């Protein structure tokens, strides 16, 4: 379990980025970490990984302080940053060099995931496009079977089939012991695989709910009816009508969560006081 308590962090003395931030994530969940630009998502990720040290507060993963960055802890955490650099070797060599650090590394799973991404382990990493590199790196990250996997903007640079393959590889690799955090702005790429959503801004966590819980309280629909849109909790102007979020009542059915609408509902100023 990931347990963040009263976390505060700033890059400069003048402006604090995260203040008294707390959050808990259970194992076996795929969590979407959403927030506006500059909300501190990447910073939070770096703090979770121990790449930055908090000014105050603690981050514990399975009761270990991540700021200590012990080899044992690092062999159970994998970060796929938005931008990364891979060595100029074949994927086979890369696996040979790095898999040894991850005790639960699953070679068969890697082959399976590479297959889904239409790659093979003989590819030379230096000769791949950014999107292909990302696919190879994500496949390796998932095959390491770490308890915590953090993906920062994983679908950036992936083509349409790559995005679909990404959703499939995450679903195929998920176990009860794994916690996956996906930070992204591309909400439509991941909405089908999430089972938990955290929406944050600099003031802290605005929403920390399971998808099931959100579905049991809110209904997300598309409507052309202006009056219905005006009565909704939020209505987003989209071509041909409105994407709306309404309180779920006996009159309407449970729907899939529209992350974009949910995000706007939670982050828009007028609805900040709204309690789910």
DSSP classification of residue 210: E
Write down the least CB distance from residue 204 to other proteins, Å.
22
Interface mask toward other proteins for 161-180; x: CB under 8 A: --------------------
Which residue, 21 or 94, is less far from other proteins as judged by CB?
A: 94
Contact residues for 96 (Cβ-Cβ < 8 A; gap 6+): none
Decide the pairing of beta strands 241-247 and 2-9. unpaired
Find the part of the chain contacting other proteins (CB under 8 A) among 95-103, 178-186, 188-196, 205-213.
95-103
Q: Find the binder of other proteins among 96, 115, 230, 254 (CB under 8 A).
A: 96
Asked if 165 contacts 112 with a C-beta cutoff of 8 angstroms, the reply is no
Which residue, 132 or 261, is less far from other proteins as judged by CB?
A: 132
Find the part of the chain contacting other proteins (CB under 8 A) among 74-82, 106-114, 116-124, 199-207.
74-82
Write down the least CB distance from residue 114 to other proteins, Å.
19
Interface mask toward other proteins for 11-50; x: CB under 8 A: x----------------------------------x--xx
Rule CB under 8 A: say whether 54 interacts with other proteins: no
3-state secondary structure (DSSP) of residue 167: helix
Long-range CB contacts (< 8 A, 24+ apart) of 157-163? 157/130, 157/131, 158/131, 158/134, 158/189, 159/131, 162/117, 162/131, 162/134, 162/135, 163/189
Q: Compute the distance between CA of residue 49 and CA of residue 78 in angstroms, rounded to an integer.
A: 8
Decide the pairing of beta strands 77-80 and 148-152. parallel
Q: Find the binder of other proteins among 100, 161, 171, 203 (CB under 8 A).
A: 100
Find residue 223's DSSP bridge partners: 242
Give the interface size with other proteins as a residue count (CB under 8 A). 31
Q: Give the burial class of 182: count Cβ atoms within 10 A of its Cβ; 0-12 exposed, 13-18 middle, 19 or more buried.
A: buried
Which residue, 71 or 239, is less far from other proteins as judged by CB?
A: 71
- Tell me which residue of 174, 154, 191 sits closest to 28, measured CA to CA: 174
Find the part of the chain contacting other proteins (CB under 8 A) among 20-28, 85-93, 116-124, 155-163.
85-93
Asked if 131 contacts 157 with a C-beta cutoff of 8 angstroms, the reply is yes
Interface mask toward other proteins for 187-206; x: CB under 8 A: --------------------
Write down the least CB distance from residue 249 to other proteins, Å.
47
Binding site for other proteins (CB under 8 A): 11, 46, 49-53, 69, 71-75, 77-79, 81, 83-85, 87-89, 93-94, 96-98, 100-102
């Amino acid at each position: 379990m990931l347990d963040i308590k009263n976390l505060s962090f700033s890059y400069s003395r003048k402006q604090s980025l995260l203040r008294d931030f707390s959050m808990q994530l259970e194992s076996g969940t795929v969590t979407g970490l959403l927030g506006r630009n500059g909300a501190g998502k990447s910073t939070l990720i770096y703090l979770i990984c121990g790449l930055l040290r908090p000014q105050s507060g603690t981050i514990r993963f399975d009761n270990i302080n991540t700021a200590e960055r012990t080899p044992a802890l690092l062999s159970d955490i994998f970060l796929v940053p938005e931008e990364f650099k891979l060595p100029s070797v074949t994927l086979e060599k890369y696996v040979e060099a790095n898999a040894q650090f991850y005790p639960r590394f699953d070679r068969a799973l890697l082959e399976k995931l590479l297959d889904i991404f239409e790659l093979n382990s003989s590819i030379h990493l230096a000769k791949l496009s950014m999107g292909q590199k990302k696919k190879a790196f994500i496949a390796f990250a998932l095959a390491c079977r770490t308890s915590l996997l953090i993906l920062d903007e994983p679908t950036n640079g992936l083509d349409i089939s790559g995005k679909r393959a990404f959703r499939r590889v995450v679903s195929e690799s998920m176990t009860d012991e794994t916690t996956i955090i996906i930070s992204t702005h591309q909400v439509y790429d991941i909405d089908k695989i999430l089972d938990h959503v955290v929406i944050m801004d600099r003031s802290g966590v605005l929403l920390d709910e399971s998808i099931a819980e959100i579905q049991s309280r809110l209904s997300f629909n598309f409507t052309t009816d202006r009056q219905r849109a005006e009565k909704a909790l939020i209505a987003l102007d989209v071509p041909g009508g409105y994407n709306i979020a309404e309180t779920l009542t006996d009159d309407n059915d449970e729907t899939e969560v529209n992350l974009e609408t949910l995000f706007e509902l939670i982050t828009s100023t007028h609805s900040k006081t709204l309690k789910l």
